[in-house]
């Protein structure tokens, strides 16, 4: 990108900017009310009051009880805690089988791989060509030894919303726990843990204009995943480590603002997405929308541009100040094609020709049109090189 050139951000699935109002609510807990929330003196008590208020608000917003909400360092920790902790706890009951979907975030898949190395039986739930896990496929994998089923609420690469309620019901009928990673879904779907059927559910503040490095894990009363982080007795003895008070305050403030504006923001972003797709399909031939026909989040568009290399496409977009992605930011350094797209049946070649655009509440129609026009120019240029 040349100095002084405009910049446009189309990578909101990777992270979002910290909301200014949220930052102002966090600021006092860096400079004035800076106490350790577990200290017994007045500084500590002031910090703990802020944590308790944040916990109460988050619980209310997701339909949980305050003692069912645990604060973590983010989605990766929450996913690991839910999957590893639940698996270890269920093993004590003779349940040593875990089922995870084939399109989970790498945090969940890596946890599952660790369990395999430790002797657990791990099965991977396939998805159809639209990127959806299906109940009959899960039914075929369930056994009496299955202690946990983990299926994300919405995919971070395609935006495809999973039938998590039906999957949770099936898991419970089998006597299995159900965990859903709602990190990508939380900004756009109103969470109700009882209605969703989740025994455990994770989300992360930086996906909805909150601070990085702070997340939450809902754990239904009666479910007791093993402790993942050894240390002190923070978080009711379930998670060691000094609480990140400013970020906990920020998570609650950001999520409350997100829920309050969800309907309006979703409508705006859905409109931007529709405008973008109309322009793309009008100006570019040989384009496929991945996840077409499925229920998808309003924010994410995953497109396969026939005959291009996505790394070259990203590089050229970035040279002109437009940020997009080839998939999950957590796997952006990988030379492997997207595991999500190949699980949906795409060839490795097509997966390497696929790009994720993810829009946010601050994007404008003018940015959308500029980005689509630029994409058309770059696709044309890259295809001409291949002739």
Residues identified as active-site = 330
DSSP codes of every residue in 188-242: TS---HHHHT-SEEEEEGGGGTS-TT-EEEEE-TT--PPP-S-SS-HHHHTS-S-
Question: Tokens 């240390």 belong to which residue?
Answer: 231
From CA 12, how far away is CA 53, in angstroms rounded? Answer: 28
HSE (CB half, 13 Å, CA atoms) of 283? 18
305 bridge partner residues: 287
235 within 8 A of 97, measured Cβ to Cβ: no
Token reading at 215: 């997340």
303 bridge partner residues: 289, 355
From CA 170, how far away is CA 192, in angstroms rounded? Answer: 18
**Nearest Cα to 9, choosing from 378, 373, 376, 359?**
359
364 burial (CB, 10 Å; 0-12 / 13-18 / 19+) is exposed
217 within 8 A of 202, measured Cβ to Cβ: yes
């Amino acid at each position: 990108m040349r100095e002084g050139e405009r910049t446009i951000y189309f990578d909101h699935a990777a992270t979002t900017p910290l909301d200014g109002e949220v930052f102002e609510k966090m600021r006092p807990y860096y400079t004035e009310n800076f106490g350790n929330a577990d200290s017994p003196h007045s500084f500590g008590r002031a910090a703990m009051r802020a944590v308790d208020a944040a916990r109460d608000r988050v619980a209310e917003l997701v339909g949980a009880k305050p003692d069912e909400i645990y604060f973590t360092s983010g989605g990766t920790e929450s996913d690991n805690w839910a999957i590893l902790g639940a698996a270890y706890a269920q093993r004590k009951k003779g349940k040593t089988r875990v089922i995870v979907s084939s399109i989970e975030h790498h945090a969940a898949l890596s946890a599952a791989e660790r369990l395999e190395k430790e002797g657990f039986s791990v099965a991977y739930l396939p998805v159809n060509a639209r990127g959806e896990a299906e109940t009959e496929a899960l039914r075929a994998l369930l056994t009496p030894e299955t202690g946990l089923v983990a299926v994300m609420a919405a995919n971070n690469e395609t935006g495809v919303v999973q039938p998590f309620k039906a999957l949770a019901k099936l898991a419970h009928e089998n006597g299995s726990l159900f965990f859903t990673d709602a990190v990508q879904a939380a900004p756009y779907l109103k969470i109700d843990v009882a209605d969703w059927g989740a025994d455990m559910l994770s989300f992360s503040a930086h996906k909805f204009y909150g601070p990085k490095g702070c997340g939450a894990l809902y754990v239904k009363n009666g479910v007791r995943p093993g402790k993942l982080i050894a240390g002190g007795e923070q978080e009711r003895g379930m998670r060691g480590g000094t609480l990140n008070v400013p970020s906990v305050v920020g998570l609650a403030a950001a999520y409350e603002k997100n829920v309050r504006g969800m309907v309006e923001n979703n409508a705006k972003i859905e409109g931007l997405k529709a405008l973008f797709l109309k322009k793309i399909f009008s100006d570019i031939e040989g384009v496929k929308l991945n996840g077409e026909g499925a229920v998808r989040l309003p924010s994410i568009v995953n497109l396969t541009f026939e005959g291009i290399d996505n790394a070259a496409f990203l590089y050229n977009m970035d040279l002109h100040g437009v940020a997009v992605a080839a998939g999950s930011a957590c796997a952006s350094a990988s030379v492997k094609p997207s595991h999500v797209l190949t699980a949906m049946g795409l060839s490795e070649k097509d997966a390497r020709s696929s790009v994720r655009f993810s829009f946010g509440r601050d994007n404008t129609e003018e940015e959308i049109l500029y980005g689509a026009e630029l994409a058309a120019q770059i696709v044309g240029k890259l295809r001409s090189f291949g002739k």
